[in-house]
Each structure stands twice: as C-alpha cells, then as structure tokens.
Amino acid sequence: MRTAIYPGSFDPVTLGHWDLIQRATKLVDRLVVAVLHNPAKTSAFSVEDRVAMLKELVAPLPQVEVTSFHGLLVDFAKSQNAVVIVRGVRAFSDFEYEFQMALMNRKLAPDLETVFLMPKEKYSAVSSRFVREIGSMGGNLAELVPETLRERISARLAKG
C-alpha cells in the first residue's frame, strides 16, 4: 500500500487544498492529511478545529485520513509508513521554498519522495492567508473555501 502525507497548516482549508487532496488520492492508496502543530505561528483556528473541518470535508473519501502532528515531517512520515510527501505549488516562489524543503527532507530520509502538485488554475491565487484577510473584513469566501465549511469559516474569521 502506497501512503502519502499531505502536510500543512490548513488555517483554514481552502478550495486549493481540497483540489490537491482530490488529486493526490488518484496517486496513492492512502493519503494522510496532516495538520502541523506550529507553536511559533498564531492561528485563526485551533488544530482541533482544523482537523475537524478536514475530517468533515474528506468524509466521502475512504482512503483519506486526517490527523495532526508536531516535530519533523520525515519522522511523522516514517511513523505512517509513508513513501511520498505531497506538496502544493501555486507559483514559482512556492516552488523555490518547497524545493529547498524537499532537498532537506531527502537528506534526512532518502527513501521518502516529494511530489509537487499544482492546483487548478482558478485556485492558483487562493491561500489561507488571503482567506483569513478577506474573511476578517467580511468579504465573500464563495470561491475560496469549500461550501460545506464556508459559513463556519466566515463566522470565525469575522469574530477576529
């Protein structure tokens, strides 16, 4: 069974994330969507909220699991018997950072591959940061976040 890890902050989950989850499921037998605990970052949503939203979103996909982790990604990947890390790239600036990270992960875990996926073009400008900014000002998130989570995300971001 080929297992992949799709790590991220998902703060909040966007349509770009959802697009990549669906694309990644076509490449592996098991996909673990892993929410990173990052104490250095101030988040709009708790890790528990992000995990809950992602679980709700991926419920129709039995090969997808959602969990959280802290520490080194390569250690988490090993604990999940993963052979692939899935990373999304929207622009060249994303690729530059992700490429460096992939090289370091390869140094730490030579048997773990990184696969870069591009979202559909219509999601190439969508980021969690933009969603947080737009949502905090009461903007329309209709084309940015999954419909099933939109009301919850909008309400939380409007509270500040």
Q: Which residues are catalytic?
A: 17, 41, 90, 128
CATH number at residue 56: 3.40.50.620
Predicted TM-score (pTM) of the model is 0.94
Domain that holds residue 53: 3-124
- Please check whether residue 41 lies inside any domain of the structure: yes
- Please check whether residue 150 lies inside any domain of the structure: no
Query: Per-residue confidence at 93, pLDDT binned at 50, 70, 90?
Result: confident
Coil/strand/helix, residue 5: strand
Query: Per-residue confidence at 41, pLDDT binned at 50, 70, 90?
Result: confident
- Please check whether residue 40 lies inside any domain of the structure: yes
Amino acid at 39: P
- Please check whether residue 22 lies inside any domain of the structure: yes
- Please check whether residue 159 lies inside any domain of the structure: no
Least confident of 16-30, 85-99, 135-149: 85-99
Q: How many domains does the chain have?
A: 1
- Please check whether residue 29 lies inside any domain of the structure: yes
Give Dmax over CA atoms of the chain in angstroms. 45
Are the beta carbons of 140 and 158 closer than 8 angstroms? Answer: no
Tokens linked to 101: 């990270």
